[in-house]
Every structure is written in C-alpha cells, then in structure tokens.
Amino acid sequence: MTDTVTKDRVLIFDTTLRDGEQSPGATMTHEEKLEIAGLLDEMGVDIIEAGFPIASEGDFRAVSEIAKQARGSTICGLARANLADIDRCWEAVRHARSPRIHTFIGTSPLHRAIPNLDMDQMAERIHETVTHARNLCDNVQWSPMDATRTEWDYLCRVVEIAIKAGATTINIPDTVGYTAPRESADLIRRLIAAVPGADEVVFATHCHNDLGMATANALAAVEGGARQIECTINGLGERAGNTALEEVVMALKVRGDIMPYETGIETKRLMHISRRVATVSGFPVQFNKAIVGKNAFAHESGIHQDGMLKNAETFEIMRPEDVGLSETNLVMGKHSGRAALRAKLKDLGFELGDNQLKDVFVRFKELADRKKEVYDEDLVALVSAAPEAEADRLQVISLKVVCGTGGPAEATLEMEVDGAEHIATEEGDGPVDATFKAVRKIFPNAARLQLYQVQAVTAGTDAQATVSVRLEEDGMIATGQSANTDTVVASAKAYVNALNRLLVRRDKTGPGTDRREVSYKDVS
C-alpha cells in the first residue's frame, strides 16, 4: 500500500501585465492586455496583477476592465505607499469577484533615501497606508521593495507593522536580483520564525533574474515557507526579467518528489500563452529557453535521437504535450480544408469564431501556395496577427528591390497614404535600409528606429520571417510586426504598421493619455 503525500498549495501570482510590461518596449495595447488576462484566468493563475492604475488613464481602464471580466482569478492592482495611489487602485479593482490591493515602499537604505524618510517616518507611512488599504479591501498585499538589501532588524520591524495594520500577504522582493537560493530560503524562514503574526499571513517571493537565479531563488523561498510565487510568462520583465511562470510551475510538477508542492495551473496551456505574450510584446522567446523554447524538446545529435526512438524518457523529463506542444507538426498544406484548419488551430490552443477563421483561412491558402509545407509555427504566426486594417492611413501596395555585390541596393515602393497612391525609389546600404528610406520619402516622419529584429518562423529557404520594428517619436513608442516569406516585404509592412500605430496614438494623445506604447501585428 502506497502512502498518499499531501502537497502544499503554492499560489501563482502573475505580473506579466504589470512588471512584465515595464520591460522597455514591451507595453501592450488595451485589447492585448484583456486577451492575455483572459488566458491567464483560463489557465488557472491564482492572482493576476493587472497593472498600476494610477500610472495612466490607460492602465486604469485596463485594470478596471480586467477586474470586471475575470472569472476565477483574484485581480490585483499596484499602488505606491500613498493614499491617492491606493484609492485609485481600489477604484480599478473593486468590481472584481476577488479584488486585491498591492502596496509597496522601498525599505533598503538606498530606497529610503529616495523619499528622504528616516526609519521612523517610513514605519509610520507603512502603518498609515496599509491600514487605509485594509479599510477599503480585505485582501491586501504589502511589499518592502529591495527587501534582500534591507537591514534585518528593520525588515522584521516593518513586516510586523504591515501585518498588524492588516496585510494578508507579505511579499519579499529581490528587486535587483541580488540574492542567492540559500539566502532566499533563509530569509523567508527567519522572517516567519521571528515576526509576530507571520504564521497568520501568506509569504510571497518576487525575484528578478539579474544573476540568472530568479527561478532557483523563487523555489528556494518556497522551501523556506513562502506559499506565493510572483512571476511572468516567459520571464518577461525589467532588465534581465522576472521569475518565469512556466519554469517554476513545471519544476514543481516534475520534481514533486523533492518539492511536495502543487499549483492550480493547467500546464497544457503554457505553450499557447507563451507564444501570445511573445507576439504581443514583440519579445521573442530564446530558442534554448527552458520549457517553452523552440529547442526545449528538439533532439539533433545521433545519440539523443537514437535514445528518443527507443524510449522518450531517455532524454526528456517531461512530455511535450504536458506543456501544450502538439505531437505532430507537419500536417497542413494547400489542399487542407477549413475544417482541418479549425481542428488544427484548436489543437494549438486557438478557438476562432467563423469570421476570424474565414480571414485566417484565406491567408493560410495564400501562404500554402508559396510554401510546400505549412508548420505549426506558421499557423501560430498567421492566427496571432491581424491583417492590415482598412482604416490605416498608410498601406503598402507593392515593393521591388534590386540588390547585390555590384553597388547600393535600390527599393521602389508603392504606398497608399490617406487614399492617395505614391511611389518612391531610394538607394540604401542593403534592401531594408533602402526600403525604409523609401517609406520616409513618401511619408516624412521624425520617428527613431529603436529595434529591428528578424526571426525565422520555421526552417527552410521558403520559411516565413517574422519582423519586429519598434519606433519612438516624442516619447511615444510603437511596435509593428509582420510575417512574410519575403523578409524585405515583411520589414516594410512592420515598419509601416508601427508608423500607423504612432499616428493613432498621436491623434489620441491628450491630458492623462497613456503615451507609452501601442503595438500592431500583421501577417500576409
């Protein structure tokens, strides 16, 4: 008879829409935030930190709408340690089925110097703001920012103050990714043992990846007694990013023998949401990324392939289907019908309405005519992006490039601007440079190119290339993305899409408008 092991539940707190979105250039549109929040909710995330409501009107609207639409997840908003922030946060999350206020203040010597508060003044601020938050909401999380570089005695003092003021979750952030696993576990363990009332609240861990130890530090904190992990999809976040949700969830699932903890995450949805976050943020997943990277389940060496053929467990500690990877990849072609496409997309995690399917099917047929073989990644690229909007002021009509070793490249671009057709021919240092110069000749602008990135969707000379372009103008950032079997065409459309988004943002900009970023995707 086998003994049943009771596993402690670890709450998953996802901050992709807040801390993840703070990664430079990763800001999402309102619609994209709602979509990602819906996917997180469906996947079983316990708490979604939907944004920073006082940061902008756009953030407030997104948090408020997510709060109203959430079905299972607790919806959390972030607030600094002042009453105005907390009131605005509560106004945004109050309509959630399960709302939470998350308030924070930097407690390390370096961070105390920013508001110029001494220890006693900061302690008083913490008591006042946590008390105020608890009077509004019975679910309050408090964080001492840069906790891992805060003096031990003072950290104990302020944690006790927050607990007595009514905080129900105490989050211990490693804000700059400074700590190591042993320290991470010891810090949580010592706080629980030393602080009065610590056994009555949930301790959480929030780790950054500056030294590449975010996942290890988060798991160590759980061993030390933390029962909430703050993380993001794909490890998205400031600087080197945050703890990756998919890594801690699968680590707990695969190594339950030594880490007897469980989460409520439906892991078969991991690959789908990873791809969507990569698409809407414009931050591709590195090929060798754990769990969701393109090579995570790829085997090339002869020894590995031989072992896989005999027994997959030889070189795989988890099954691809456990994270949502399809067992088969090459199944679609130009003779595939609409029903087959719908079924395949469902396997990949996409449930499309009739109108969406009709649009994707048309573009799928166009792609299949250009490619002999259409892979899963091609389909994901198709469905993850929208076609050009008829309302866009700028439209690419045609592009012809001449390049080689004999001289500068030349691009002849035909575009439609506000309904009128224009043609320009420009030379440049390569076909992309010439094309971008032609765009600027037809539509003069002061936008600065921050990022130009090309990624092959699949292997082969007929592979689609996904091009991401990030532009900045007057403090506004816009991301455009396009996929095409012709890399230069994809580049032109991505550049023009980013310009269109800048124009939309410029038209809408006014007092209180969120100017940070809007993004748009296109596949053709």
- Annotated binding residue at 242? yes
Q: Tell me the C-alpha distance between 502 and 500, whole Å.
A: 5
If we measure between CA atoms, which residue out of 87, 93, 10, 84 comes closest to residue 51? 93
- Annotated binding residue at 234? no
Q: Tell me the C-alpha distance between 443 and 6, whole Å.
A: 64
Compute the half-sphere exposure of residue 382: CA atoms within 13 Å on the CB side of its CA: 29
Burial class (CB in 10 A: 0-12, 13-18, 19+), 342: middle
- Annotated binding residue at 19? yes
Do the beta carbons of residue 10 and residue 261 sit within 8 Å?
Answer: yes
Compute the half-sphere exposure of residue 507: CA atoms within 13 Å on the CB side of its CA: 7
If we measure between CA atoms, which residue out of 353, 452, 504, 356 comes closest to residue 30? 504
Which token pair is 406?
Answer: 């004999």
Q: Tell me the C-alpha distance between 62 and 30, whole Å.
A: 6
Instruction: State the sign of the Cα–Cα–Cα–Cα dihedral 271, 277, 280, 285.
Output: negative
Burial class (CB in 10 A: 0-12, 13-18, 19+), 288: exposed
- Annotated binding residue at 171? no
Burial class (CB in 10 A: 0-12, 13-18, 19+), 365: middle
Backbone φ and ψ for 467, nearest 5 degrees, come out as: -110, 130
- Give the residue ranges of the annotated binding site for Mn(2+): 19, 206, 208, 242
- Give the residue ranges of the annotated binding site: 19, 206, 208, 242
